[in-house]
Structure formats: C-alpha cells, structure tokens
C-alpha cells in the first residue's frame, strides 16, 4: 500500500456503512484522517459501528445531523455507493462544495498494483471473473475486487507492485470518482438502468464513462465497437483504443472471424470449443480476451479458461436437471436487457420466472425475446406489468405467485421434458429480498427441494 500523506489530520465524513463504509473508515483512520462515521442503522443493532468505535472512530447512528459539517469542519465525504445524491447529507456537502467520493477513489490512491476496471449495464461479473481466471491461468498474480463482492480499497491495501486488481465497477461507484484511473478500462455496454438513481439515461451513461476520463496514453480503453453509446463515451479518452465486436471483423481488435476468436488478426481458438452459453457471453469473452492479451496472457491460458468456465453464480448458472427439465439461476439479471440476453441463450421452450422491484419502467422491450417462452411465472411488485406483456406475446400459461420459492413449484407443475426453467427476473430484488444473491439462493434451494 502506498503510504500517502494527504489524509493526515483531514476531517473526513464516511456516510453509510455496510462493507464499503466499514473498509473506507478503517483505511482512512490508518492513513491518519480524523474520521466521523454517520449511518442510519441504530448503534445497538450496528455491529460495524460498534467495531469502529472500539478503534476510537466517532460514530453517529440513527439520523443524519446536518450540523456535523460545521461542527467537525468536514473536508471530504466518502459515501456508500448506494446512497443517492438526493440524500440530505450529500446535498449539504454539495452546497458547501465539499468533494464527495466512493471508496474506489481511495483504492486507486493507495494501490501499488495495476488496476483493470470493468463496467457496463450487463456482463460485468462474468467479464471480471473471466479476466481474473485468464490471468491466473497465465501464472500472473491477479486479485479480484469491487462490485463483485470484495471492497476495492480493502484489496488495494494488501496488493503489491507487480500484481493486478481486476475490479468490477458500478455506475454508483464510478460517479463518486475524481482522479480514479485504471490501467485498462472496459465499458461493455450501455442500457437503460438505475434511472431511479441517476435520473436520466445520459447521467447514467456519463457515470459509466468516467472510467475512461483520466486514462493516459500508457493506458488501454477497451471499447465495444457495436455499442454507439460506449463509442461516444470513449471519444475523448487519451487511452489507447482497443475494440471488440461480436458482429464485425476487426483487424485491429478482438472479434470472431471464420468461426475463430481472434486478437489483432491472430486466431486463438474455435468458438465451438467455448463452453459458456449465449451470444451475450461472447461479448463478455471478447472483452476479457482484450484485457488478458493486453496484460500479456498467452493463448493457452485463455483456451484453458474458455474450455472449462461455465459461468458465475447467479448469472445463467446451471442448477440441476430433473425429468428432462433443466433449471438455470440468472438472479443477477436485474434489468430487461439482461433477461433478453438470457432468453436468447436457449433454443428449448422456456418457463420464465420474473418480477421484482418496480422502478417505474414498462417491459415492452422484452417482447421480442419472449417468442420461445411457453409459460411465465411472476412475483414481486412488477408482476402485473410483466403479465400484461406476456398477454401481448401470446404466452399460454401466466401465473402469479408470492415469491421465488413458490415460482419454482409452479414451474415444476407446468414443465415438460425438454423445457428450461429460467429464473431471470428483469428487476432488482429489493422489494422482497436483500440482494439478488439471496433471491438466487432461494431459487437454488427450492430446485433442490423438488427432489
């Protein structure tokens, strides 16, 4: 870890705990900052707050006192990524022109290791995992961090020179960056998502595009040739541009040519050898190859991963097969595009399990992907909206249930040999579940209970 001095005696407010706030508070304290933590969860129920208080850090729980800014002379706010900018404390900081960052900014500042940053509306976790596995297979010392589950600044604090941190980044995290600069930056795609947080598609895309903003000529911008918005975001970057495309042949990029995965015109492997299903995963694979090859990974390491890697948990994860019916967990599909791509991965008739948090959007964009769906089982706040689209699509069987567990039972009752039962909700989980992981785990448990 770089022993930076810029936080010594600096008054820093950490807003919101959870994993990222806890890690940021500990790191800033270790760097000599005067840390104040503010979290809405009551202190007596807040294990993280209690842990920090034992370290001598001031913790204020249960409310957001605006007076903290003047009383403490706050100079910087490090916020939990999920806290919206409409929060009263954030609005106060903005009014006072106090910088607001997320912990990934701290990760960049202290990291001795290189950083590969991956963002996009869909495919981040799969691409991040693929890059990590490819570099490991090439005997490179890779670490994995970010939105995939391990707090970036916590990993960066332990990382050493010569290592590389492969980091999944959300728009929430990137919006709170100022100087953050990965050595390799990837934007996979842009699709309408998180508009309840960002307000507009333009603001959402702009947050994603911050990953390219600070690149230098020594850095690499990996760009989806097929996505116009991604190309626009990368227009002004100073990084060396490396494109990937699933639809066009690129001499100076990563693409499919004559059935072969190629990098700068060099064939790496026949795509028939790739075990990860779905056209959308081909996009993720090409982006991963671009990053891995840019880090010097050999073709054999890449082939080894792509002939064995079958997916990450909660992302088109094969769960089980019973009576000729295959069950797949795609709980991480929290928007329409993710569910559309999941449906396109299957040729067999699908029984779709979908629903969740209502963010105000309609689901008509899902219509073209429903042609192979023979039954829809809905749950959650968006059940009525999804059912309306199912009627338009002419789906024969439409049922509403209370939760994912009951959806599995309902799907089992209507399924036939050769069908695929697919949990791909097209919605966030927060109306019924704390996380998409919890929702996916419930699906997995319910499938196993069928036996």
Binding-site entries for ATP: 120-126
Of the candidates 232, 278, 218, 223, which has an alpha carbon nearest to the alpha carbon of residue 250?
223
C-alpha 358/C-alpha 236 separation (Å) is 36
Where are the alpha helices (H) located in 61-148, listed in sequence order? 68-72, 88-95, 103-110, 124-137
Could you identify the residue written with the tokens 């309840």?
196
φ, ψ of residue 32 to 5 degrees: the values are: 95, 10
Report yes or no: 292 and 118 within 8 Å, Cβ to Cβ.
no
Of the candidates 117, 284, 295, which has an alpha carbon nearest to the alpha carbon of residue 210?
117
Q: Per the annotation, where are the binding residues?
A: 120-126
Report yes or no: 377 and 399 within 8 Å, Cβ to Cβ.
yes
C-alpha 175/C-alpha 212 separation (Å) is 12
C-alpha 245/C-alpha 181 separation (Å) is 24
DSSP line for 324-351: TEEEEE-TT--SHHHHHHHHHT--S-EE
Report yes or no: 354 and 376 within 8 Å, Cβ to Cβ.
yes
Could you identify the residue written with the tokens 């050898």?
273
- The pair of three-digit structure tokens given for residue 397, joined into one six-digit string: 């069987």
| 337, 386, 390, 393 from 368: Cα distances, Å | 11, 14, 11, 8
């Amino acid at each position: 870890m770089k022993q930076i001095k810029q936080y010594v005696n600096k008054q820093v407010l950490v807003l919101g705990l959870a994993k990222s706030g806890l890690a940021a508070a500990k790191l800033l304290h270790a760097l000599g900052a005067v840390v104040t933590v503010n979290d809405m969860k009551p202190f007596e129920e807040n294990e993280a707050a209690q842990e920090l208080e034992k370290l001598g850090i001031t913790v204020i729980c249960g409310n957001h006192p605006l007076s903290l800014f003047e009383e403490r002379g706050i100079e910087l706010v490090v916020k939990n990524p999920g806290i919206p900018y409409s929060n009263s404390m954030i609005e106060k900081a903005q009014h006072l022109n106090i910088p607001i960052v997320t912990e990934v900014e701290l990760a960049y500042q202290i990291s001795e290791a290189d950083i590969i940053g991956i963002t996009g509306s869909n495919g981040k976790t799969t691409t991040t995992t693929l890059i990590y596995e490819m570099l490991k297979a090439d005997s490179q010392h890779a670490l994995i961090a970010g939105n995939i589950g391990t707090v970036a600044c916590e990993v960066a604090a332990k990382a050493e020179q010569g290592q590389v941190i492969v980091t999944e980044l959300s728009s929430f995290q990137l919006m709170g960056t100022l100087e953050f600069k990965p050595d390799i930056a990837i934007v996979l795609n842009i699709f309408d998502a998180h508009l309840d947080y960002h307000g507009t598609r333009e603001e959402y895309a702009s947050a994603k595009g911050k990953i390219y903003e600070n690149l230098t000529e020594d850095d690499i911008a990996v760009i989806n040739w097929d996505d116009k918005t991604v190309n626009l975001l990368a227009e002004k970057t100073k990084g060396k541009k490396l494109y990937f495309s699933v639809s066009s042949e690129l001499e100076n990029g990563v693409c499919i040519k004559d059935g072969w995965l190629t990098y700068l015109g060099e064939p790496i492997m026949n795509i028939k050898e790739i075990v990860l299903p779905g056209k959308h995963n081909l996009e993720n694979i090409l982006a991963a190859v671009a990053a891995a090859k840019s880090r010097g990974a050999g073709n054999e390491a890449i082939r080894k991963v792509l002939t064995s890697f079958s997916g990450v948990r909660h992302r088109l994860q094969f769960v089980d097969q019973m009576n000729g019916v295959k069950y797949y967990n795609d709980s991480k599909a929290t928007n329409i595009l993710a569910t559309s791509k999941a449906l396109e991965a299957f040729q067999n008739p699908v029984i779709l399990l979908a629903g969740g948090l209502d963010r105000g959007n309609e689901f008509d964009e899902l219509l073209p992907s429903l042609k192979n769906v023979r039954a829809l089982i809905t749950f959650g706040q968006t059940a009525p909206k999804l059912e309306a689209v199912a009627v338009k699509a002419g789906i024969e069987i439409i049922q509403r249930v209370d939760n994912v567990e009951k959806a599995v039972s309902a799907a089992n009752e209507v399924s036939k040999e050769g069908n695929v039962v697919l949990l791909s909700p097209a919605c966030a989980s927060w109306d019924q579940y704390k996380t998409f992981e919890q929702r996916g785990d419930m699906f997995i448990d319910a499938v196993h209970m069928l036996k």
